[in-house]
Amino acid sequence: MLTGFFYTLRAAGLPVSVREYLTLLEALQAGVVGPLSEDACSIEDFYHLARTTLVKDERHYDKFDRAFAAYFHGVEQIADFTREIPADWLRQTLQRLLSDEQRANAPRYDYDELFEELKKRLEEQKERHAGGSKWIGTGGTSPFGHGGHNPQGIRIGGKGGGRSAVKVWEQRSYRDYDDTQELGTRNIKMALRRLRRFARDGAELELDLPGTIRATAANAGWLDLRMVPQRHNRVKVLLLMDVGGTMDEHIPRVEELFSAARAEFKHLEFYYFHNCVYDYVWRNNRRRYAEKLPTWDLIRTYNKDWRLILVGDATMSPYEILQPGGSVEHHNEEPGAEWLQRLTHAFPHHVWLNPEPQALWEYRPSIGLIRQLVGGRMFPMTLRGLEEAMRLLSR
């Protein structure tokens, strides 16, 4: 079985050697994690062992994750809430087409009622349901489950698509944006020139020491100072990037922007958030629960001289912005709107870059809310949008 896994990794572009593969086999034989079976070794234990022995550079972690998932056909791990939900309840056997009337009559609950009703379903439900409007299941209009339609439910298992869930019941893993991504399209290259122009807002000239030496020698020892434009800027940029969920659609464009920023800004600090900024941010998506930075510490660490650039599609449930506990991943004591106001107050020079097509903004209520909270300083990630954003930040 593992021979095929080895060739899958090689096909995915991972530089895995035969020696490293043999090391993995030796570790299994020595009982480091036990035999790869349901009783003796979890797939998670084997995953960590395989990654440790086969991957020598953390730049390849994402390639490894995708190859591992493709080979072992892994399923998403459902986070513990009150009890385990049988996997059979969440198995979608067909894609049901719902009529407009069924969609309009889908049951709705306010934010607090939603969790009370979920607790009741967990206590009462004894078997699988599909296509209904009440129980945890698939393909219907129930607020609980996946594969159907509800304007404000809790997605449990499965993949999202409607973008209307106010909570997501699963443990999700995000990957860091790749800052070595090559800039391929003409528009992004043009945007890079705008970033480069903004990056040179520091001192106009600096001493050209090699040129001064050559000119002085050619001038029979008389000092001849030569100056050149400063290569690196004095502008300090704090980059906060939304990651995961609906942002997966925009990964290539955000990575191109991230690569440009890393190349052009000498003073650049970056952090991640999901959907909306709450009480903490993080630098590494693999250790985001263990190495969190409180947002208050972020505000205290960087002063108002830093330019704040937030990158995100601002596409989420309005609850995630306005409601305490609205985060889909943890219970936030204060709403995201409060944290955004603190950030914009702490960093007067700020913009929000949105990769979502601007023509769709009016159909996303959350985009309107975020746009209002950042004082209208939201720009599309287009050539013109980047130029306008950089011009505003340079004032």
d(CA 360, CA 348): 27
What local confidence, expressed as pLDDT, does residue 228 receive?
Answer: 74
Could you say which DSSP state residue 274 is in? Answer: B
What local confidence, expressed as pLDDT, does residue 257 receive?
Answer: 84
What local confidence, expressed as pLDDT, does residue 69 receive?
Answer: 78
What local confidence, expressed as pLDDT, does residue 309 receive?
Answer: 95
Quick count: other Cβ atoms within 10 Å of Cβ 157? Answer: 21
Supply the CATH classification number for the domain 186-393.
3.40.50
Please report, to the nearest 10 degrees, the dihedral formed by the alpha carbons of residues 45, 50, 51, 53 taken in order. 130
C-beta separation of 86 from 122 below 8 A: no
| DSSP secondary structure of 112-142 | HHHHHHHHHHHHH--S-EES-SSSSEESSS-
Closest CA to 358 of 368, 343, 347: 368
d(CA 117, CA 143): 9
Question: Where do the domains of the chain lie?
Answer: 2-72, 87-169, 186-393
Q: Which H helix or E strand runs over 199?
A: helix 186-199
- 282: β partners: 272, 292
- The amino acid sitting at 337 is A
Round to the nearest angstrom and report the end-to-end CA distance of the chain.
60
What local confidence, expressed as pLDDT, does residue 288 receive?
Answer: 75
What local confidence, expressed as pLDDT, does residue 38 receive?
Answer: 44
Average pLDDT per block of 10 residues along the chain, 395 residues long:
81 86 87 59 77 83 80 46 50 53 61 63 63 60 58 57 50 55 47 55 68 87 80 77 89 84 83 94 82 94 93 92 87 93 96 92 92 95 84 83
